[in-house]
Structure 1
Amino acid sequence: MAGATPTANETPGIPEVTNEVVQRGLWFEEFEPGTRYLHRPGRTVTEADNVLFTTLTMNTQALHLDAAWSAGQPFGERLVNSMFTLATIVGASVTQLTQGTIVANLGFSEVAFPAPLHHGDTLYSETIVVDKRESSSRPGQGIVTLHHIGRNQDGVVVAKATRNVMMWLREAGERQAGAGA
């Protein structure tokens, strides 16, 4: 139950709850440029993932959907939709970096897909903190620049992107969280 207060435990043999930890991302102050976060576990991408994402997003590119046509193309098979790859490497970072501490995603730059991702590949994600600065127009918030990298199981870079996010400073974020309770 969200927002529940710890109470006496009603199950025999289980101690009374005396401490509660809520999973969250990092506050602005906790980001340090030059730190690399390795997001685990990896995500093995299936054919079903690719077909579902591709059709949900109305991307009718035959390179993602048509096995016979793709067999005659340079890679000889269908490729995983690059937008799925990008969404997955960013999504893998959420619990470790931005869960409940982000104000907004501001944008992406330098997005690249240097190698394809194939059905059955396992995608591993990492993030490097590039820069941070307090916002001059939004008190209690700051802008963090993150560089996301996706590698397959062989360590080959299949995606990378730089992203700017607006993050809460701890005091303002905790105050905001308390206002929503």
Structure 2
Amino acid sequence: MKDEQTEPAETVVAQRGLWFDEMQVGTVYRHAPGRTITEADNTWFTAVTMNTQALHLDAAFAATEPFGQRLVNSMFTLATLVGLSVSQLTQGTIVGNLGFSEVAFPKPLFHGDTLYAETRILDKRPSRSRPGQGIVTFEHIGRNQHGVVVAKAVRQTMVFHSEHDKKNPEVQV
């Protein structure tokens, strides 16, 4: 008779962000990969959001302005900065964004620049009105490929506690 060997249990790892109880104030996350911004990205975003600012669309006009070239739309920069953090921090664990308390663009981003992001957890507290959820304050910092800070934002979010996963085991992100 052969010895029967049992197969090891299949290990499944689902990509997700962090639960409220896994987040620690003061922790800094460096997100990868970065995102190289193309002319097409900037033109599409500017057009689809109805932002007709010539600094984003008109190369001849922008050449006569202080930076001498078109600027990446700052709202695209902000959206991409936050987006770069999603897979590591909030994918499938966020209830929703509550707001931004600070947004700044200290230097411009240009076509061909690569945006890199990092996030620091500034604060967290359990929600007083929504059991099993908590409010987390993130500080997002965006740098270009030279390490120059091009964007900063402080964002408040509502995040589920890990007990939410136990209540919804069939939901996979």
> What TM-score comes out, normalization by structure 2 length?
0.92
Map Cα deviations across residues 79-109 of structure 1 (whole Å, 9 max, x no partner).
Answer: 0000000000100000000000000110001
Aligned CA distance change for structure 1 residues 27 and 65 (closer, same or farther; 3 Å): same
Aligned CA distance change for structure 1 residues 140 and 68 (closer, same or farther; 3 Å): same
SS in 2 for 1:19: coil
Equivalent residue number for residue 123 of structure 2: 131
Residue 21 (structure 1) shift: 0.9
* Aligned counterparts, 1:1-181, within 5 A: 18-175=10-167, 177-178=168-169
Q: Which stretches of structure 1, 4 residues or longer, exceed 3 Å deviation after superposition?
A: 178-181
Aligned-residue sequence identity (percent) comes to 67
Residue 19 (structure 1) shift: 1.4
Counterparts of 1:137 and 1:172, CA distance in 2: 16
SS in 1 for 2:155: strand
Counterparts of 1:102 and 1:137, CA distance in 2: 16
Residue type at the aligned position of 2:77: T
Aligned CA distance change for structure 1 residues 16 and 48 (closer, same or farther; 3 Å): farther
Residue 178 (structure 1) shift: 3.6
Aligned CA distance change for structure 1 residues 174 and 56 (closer, same or farther; 3 Å): farther
Equivalences, count: 166
> What TM-score comes out, normalization by structure 1 length?
0.88
Contact preservation (8 Å) 1:140, 1:173: no
User: Which sections of structure 2, spanning at least 5 residues, go unmatched?
Assistant: 1-6
Counterparts of 2:154 and 2:165, CA distance in 1: 24
Residue type at the aligned position of 1:69: F
Residue 180 (structure 1) shift: 5.6
Q: CA RMSD in A?
A: 1.6
User: Which sections of structure 1, spanning at least 5 residues, go unmatched?
Assistant: 1-14
Residue type at the aligned position of 1:101: T
SS in 1 for 2:138: strand
Counterparts of 2:96 and 2:140, CA distance in 1: 17
